[in-house]
A and B are shown apart, each in its own frame.
Chain A
Amino acid sequence: MRVVALCRDHGTPSIAGVGHDEVVLIDDLCVRPAGLAALPEATEQLVVGLHRSEAAMGAVQSSLRRLGFDPMGVGIVELEGVGGDPHRLTVLVAGAAARSGAYPGSTPEQLKLAAPRALSRRSLLTLAAPTYIGAPAIEPLVCTAMDGCRVCTRACPVSALTWNGGSISYDKAACVSCGICVTVCPVGAAVNPEATPAAIEAEVGAIVTAADAPAGIRYVCRDGTAPVDQPGWYSVRVPCTSMLTVGWLLAPLLMGAAGVDALACGDGGCRLALDEHLRQRTVGARAILAAFGLPDRIGHLHPDDAFPRSTIPGGVFGHDGESRVIQHLAPDLLDGAAVRVAGGQTGMVRIDPETCTACSMCAVSCPTGALGSTQLADAVEISFDPSACTACGQCLAVCPEIEAGAISLEAGFDLRDWEQGRQVVRRATSRRCERCGGPIAPDPMLDRIATLLGDEHAGALSVMSTICLKCRGR
């Protein structure tokens, strides 16, 4: 049984719940969350409506644990955003319940003490109970750090993630749980149970479905204050708006929302000074909308003019969401030119045959396999599938000839390239071992090494160029 427990105070409207909900009104729930003990025993899923400005979330979490609930898996509705409107409350309950239903559970490593705004002895001494937030964990079986991927380490604004010779090390004390690693990972290896793509998608979908008029979705930072009395807009909490991707900005529109917006936490902008992330991705999202002749609903609400709703297989909140959006909208592209998408997660890679040595490091470390390398009988081919590229930049980071411009990357897409699929972008002949016939290295690479070593090492290079490593050891 799903139970919706609402604080009775401050004019909370009465609602019938959604489906088979049982709605329970509890006096002073915000300031006395122990009142949750009044819940029916058969409660399996719980949604709690509180006035966030009054509630001590640590005490709420403690009360939920006492009742056998995982606090991070309980849907929370902020009653400040309801404004006495029963329909609005019903919609928010539906969203919170859907998000709660998609909660994947958490390990002890994925919980973090939330720091009070001012960390002091007094704050620790006077807190009734500590509050916990989600922290990311890297799924080792999914992560491609072993192949050299370090996208999350470059994206982390506080250097809490570091590449450790084939794996990612995580400094939980330094982490601010912004969620950037979750959305920047090209393979979805970073998981923060507080805000998984699946849970956010579930909440957005439920809100858009339950609203009786086209609704606007506003992403709000965990620490931010959700605006009140804004008819038509429904808030969805995320750890930090800096984690929003172009795909996440477009997704609510494609699910039928009448607008999408994002609100950072501080009065003067993002408390973590990451405003540029959101600004850039907003520009990118607008570029995609313009390219497909779709109305710009970012920051605007048009409840009388619904965005064309689309059902995209596999969803659009995952790490390849932007690519799915583009593929779905492809028939509506206004003109065939390449589209630049600032901050986007689709990419156009170009390889300069004059300076690329065909070493294949880019292909080895490409986390999505967009870049591939094939060893033929007497040549090596590097290929590129643009629809699989997430513009992570890992290829640039590992290219030994990057300063010579051997490889370049631009965020965006060219559907003419997508239609062609995987194409060979570099081909080079390979030297073969005189003894076993196995591959040694591409000719351009050996030429480059010869240039770097100079004439004094010509003899050694001659051996290395004709006899493979294995045969040299015999």
Chain B
Amino acid sequence: MNLERLARLRQGIYRLAAAGFARPRSDLGDLGVSSIEVLVGLDLFDYPFGPAWEEVARTLEAADPSQLASAHVELFDRGVGPDACPPFESAHRSEGRPGAEAALYAQLRRDYQTFGLQPATTAITPDHITVELEAMSWLCRIERQQREAGRSVAMTLARQQAFLRDHLVSWIPSFASQLRRADRHPFYSALAAALHAFTTHDHDLVGRLLELEQPEFQT
């Protein structure tokens, strides 16, 4: 297991997951056949989340773009209804506390700024799942570049650990469970299970990698 390759693999999976929750285009865009080939080629079976991503590839290959688009609207855009699964961290964590949403947005914006990121659009909130997943992909990319350059990755790993712990892992299990219960389209059900398995595993993995680098950087 090469650590640069591992960082590249994680970067790719986060990017793919973000694309999976974005509004699907008629030609499936980023989520097209090439992505399926990437998933299949990554040989993820060394990891417990591997079979779940194989299922994602299988359901994507069989997906009808118009049905996928319709399911996307029902699940993520409508906001109400029995199948609604809001893809925002604030919808799963703030529990209606006044000011919690604004505080979360502010915290996320600070985090993104620290990572060197600026949101490409204000059309979606900083706690949207695609934004958070893209941010993790970016951090994995930085880690990969640092490893390739022979530089310390301790700070980057610490940021990954904190972001996973404070954000993704805190709400993805609940979101994934809701999405699976909705069972609106097999692709989104598979993507939910795969993302849950992957982020849970990644949280553990980053902790182990950080132990290797510098114990004092553990947060």
Which segment, of B28-36, B110-118, B194-202, faces chain A?
B194-202
- Say yes or no for B64: interface residue by CB 8 A criterion: no
Residues of B whose CB lies within 8 Å of any CB of A are 1-3, 45-51, 173, 196-197, 200-201, 204-205, 207-209, 211-212
Question: Nearest B residue to A58 by beta-carbon distance?
Answer: B46
A residues in contact with B48, CB < 8 Å: 65, 108, 111, 132
B residues in contact with A337, CB < 8 Å: none
The reply to whether B207 and A173 form a contact with Cβ atoms under 8 Å apart is yes
Question: Nearest B residue to A64 by beta-carbon distance?
Answer: B45
Q: Please report whether the interface of chain A is mostly helix, strand, loop or mixed according to DSSP.
A: mixed
Question: Nearest B residue to A126 by beta-carbon distance?
Answer: B1
Measured in the bound complex, the distance between the Cα atoms of B2 and A124 in whole Å is 8
Least CB distance, B86 to chain A, in whole angstroms: 22
Least CB distance, A224 to chain B, in whole angstroms: 23
B residues in contact with A108, CB < 8 Å: 48-49, 196-197, 200-201
The reply to whether B212 and A124 form a contact with Cβ atoms under 8 Å apart is yes
Partner of B1 from the list A65, A109, A125, A132 (CB cut-off 8 Å) is A125
Residues of A whose CB lies within 8 Å of any CB of B are 58, 62-63, 65-66, 68, 108-109, 111-113, 115, 119-121, 124-125, 127-130, 132, 172-173
A residues in contact with B2, CB < 8 Å: 125
Partner of B208 from the list A58, A62, A66, A113 (CB cut-off 8 Å) is A113
17 pairs, A vs B, C-beta closer than 8 Å = A62-B50, A65-B51, A66-B45, A108-B49, A108-B201, A109-B173, A112-B204, A115-B208, A119-B211, A120-B212, A124-B1, A124-B208, A125-B3, A128-B1, A130-B46, A130-B47, A172-B204
B residues in contact with A68, CB < 8 Å: 51
Measured in the bound complex, the distance between the Cα atoms of B196 and A111 in whole Å is 13
Least CB distance, A432 to chain B, in whole angstroms: 39
The interface centre, meaning the residue of B3, B47, B173 with most chain A CB atoms within 10 A of its CB, is B47
Least CB distance, A472 to chain B, in whole angstroms: 30
Q: Please report whether the interface of chain B is mostly helix, strand, loop or mixed according to DSSP.
A: helix
Question: Nearest A residue to B208 by beta-carbon distance?
Answer: A113
Partner of B201 from the list A65, A111, A124 (CB cut-off 8 Å) is A111
B residues in contact with A65, CB < 8 Å: 45, 48, 50-51
Partner of B212 from the list A62, A119, A172 (CB cut-off 8 Å) is A119
Question: Nearest A residue to B161 by beta-carbon distance?
Answer: A173
The reply to whether A124 and B50 form a contact with Cβ atoms under 8 Å apart is no
A108-B48, A119-B208, A173-B208 known; 13 new pairs, CB 8 Å cut-off, are: A62-B45, A62-B46, A65-B48, A66-B45, A68-B51, A109-B200, A115-B208, A119-B211, A119-B212, A124-B208, A129-B46, A130-B1, A173-B204
> Known interface pairs A68-B51, A120-B212, A129-B1. Does A113 touch B205 (Cβ–Cβ under 8 Å)?
yes
B residues in contact with A66, CB < 8 Å: 45, 50
Least CB distance, A143 to chain B, in whole angstroms: 17
Least CB distance, B170 to chain A, in whole angstroms: 13
Task: Enumerate the 7 nearest inter-chain pairs by beta-carbon distance, A residue then B residue, closest first.
Answer: A108-B200, A129-B46, A108-B197, A66-B45, A65-B45, A62-B46, A173-B207
The reply to whether A121 and B208 form a contact with Cβ atoms under 8 Å apart is no
Measured in the bound complex, the distance between the Cα atoms of B2 and A368 in whole Å is 50
A residues in contact with B46, CB < 8 Å: 58, 62, 129-130
A residues in contact with B197, CB < 8 Å: 108
The interface centre, meaning the residue of B2, B45, B48, B173 with most chain A CB atoms within 10 A of its CB, is B48
Measured in the bound complex, the distance between the Cα atoms of B1 and A130 in whole Å is 8
B residues in contact with A132, CB < 8 Å: 48
Least CB distance, A261 to chain B, in whole angstroms: 33
Measured in the bound complex, the distance between the Cα atoms of B175 and A47 in whole Å is 36
Measured in the bound complex, the distance between the Cα atoms of B211 and A173 in whole Å is 10
B residues in contact with A119, CB < 8 Å: 208, 211-212
Measured in the bound complex, the distance between the Cα atoms of B48 and A63 in whole Å is 11
Measured in the bound complex, the distance between the Cα atoms of B200 and A473 in whole Å is 48
> Known interface pairs A108-B197, A119-B212, A121-B212. Does A127 touch B51 (Cβ–Cβ under 8 Å)?
no
Least CB distance, B85 to chain A, in whole angstroms: 19
Least CB distance, A348 to chain B, in whole angstroms: 42
Measured in the bound complex, the distance between the Cα atoms of B49 and A125 in whole Å is 20
The reply to whether B1 and A127 form a contact with Cβ atoms under 8 Å apart is yes
B residues in contact with A120, CB < 8 Å: 212
The interface centre, meaning the residue of B2, B46, B173 with most chain A CB atoms within 10 A of its CB, is B46
Measured in the bound complex, the distance between the Cα atoms of B211 and A115 in whole Å is 11
Measured in the bound complex, the distance between the Cα atoms of B46 and A127 in whole Å is 11
Measured in the bound complex, the distance between the Cα atoms of B212 and A173 in whole Å is 13
A residues in contact with B49, CB < 8 Å: 108
The interface centre, meaning the residue of A68, A108, A121, A172 with most chain B CB atoms within 10 A of its CB, is A108
B residues in contact with A111, CB < 8 Å: 48, 201
